[in-house]
Copies of this chain bind each other. A is one copy, B any other.
Amino acid sequence: MEFGITFKGFVSPDRARYLVRQAETSGFSYCWFYDSHILWRECYPAIAMCMEHTKTMRFGPCVTNPKARDWSLAASLWGSLALQSGGRIDVGLGRGDSSVRVMGKKPATIAQMTEFTQKVKAMIRGEEVSYGECPEPVKFPWATGYELPIWIGAYGPKALQAAGEVGDGVILQIGEPELLRWFSQQCFNAGEAAGRDMSNFKVQAAAPAYFGSKEDCIEATKWFPAMVGNHVADIVEKYGADNPDIPSSLTSYIENRRGYDYSKHGQSDNPYLDFITPDIVDSFCVLGTPDDHIAKLQTMQKAGVTQFNIYLDNGDEENIIAQYGKHVIPAING
Q: Give the residues in chain B near A12, CB-CB below 8 Å.
A: 25
In this complex, what residue of B is CB-closest to A74? B42
Enumerate A99-140 residues with CB–CB distance to B below 8 Å: 102-105, 134-136, 138-140
Enumerate A8-49 residues with CB–CB distance to B below 8 Å: 9-10, 12-15, 17-19, 21-22, 24-25, 37-49
CB of A305, distance to nearest CB on chain B (Å): 26
Give this chain's copy count: 4
Q: Is A228 an interface residue (CB 8 A)?
A: no
Enumerate A25-79 residues with CB–CB distance to B below 8 Å: 25, 37-49, 51-53, 68-70, 72-73, 76-77, 79
Q: Is the CB of B135 within 8 A of A105?
A: yes
Q: How far is the CA of A15 from the CA of B24 in the complex (A)?
A: 10
Q: How far is the CA of A72 from the CA of B15 in the complex (A)?
A: 25
The size bracket of the interface on A is 35 or more
A230-238, A276-284, A289-297, A314-322 - the one binding chain B: A314-322
Q: Give the residues in chain B near A81, CB-CB below 8 Å.
A: 45
Q: Give the residues in chain B near A46, CB-CB below 8 Å.
A: 48, 80, 84
Q: Is the CB of A18 within 8 A of B22?
A: yes
- A 74-102 binary contact with B (CB < 8 Å = 1; else 0): 00110111011000000000000000001
Q: Is A239 an interface residue (CB 8 A)?
A: no
Q: Is the CB of A37 within 8 A of B84?
A: no
Q: Give the residues in chain B near A15, CB-CB below 8 Å.
A: 25
CB of A177, distance to nearest CB on chain B (Å): 29
CB of A60, distance to nearest CB on chain B (Å): 13
Q: Is the CB of A44 within 8 A of B48?
A: yes
Q: How far is the CA of A18 from the CA of B57 in the complex (A)?
A: 15
CB of A334, distance to nearest CB on chain B (Å): 20
Q: Give the residues in chain B near A317, CB-CB below 8 Å.
A: 322
With most chain B CB atoms within 10 A of its CB, the pick from A13, A68, A318, A319 is A318
Q: Known contacts A18-B19, A42-B73, A318-B321; can you find 13 more A-B pairs with CB under 8 A?
A: A18-B25, A22-B318, A41-B79, A42-B76, A43-B80, A44-B48, A45-B80, A45-B81, A46-B80, A48-B48, A103-B135, A103-B138, A316-B322
Q: A-side interface residues toward B, CB under 8 Å?
A: 9-10, 12-15, 17-19, 21-22, 24-25, 37-49, 51-53, 68-70, 72-73, 76-77, 79-81, 83-84, 102-105, 134-136, 138-142, 315-319, 321-322, 326
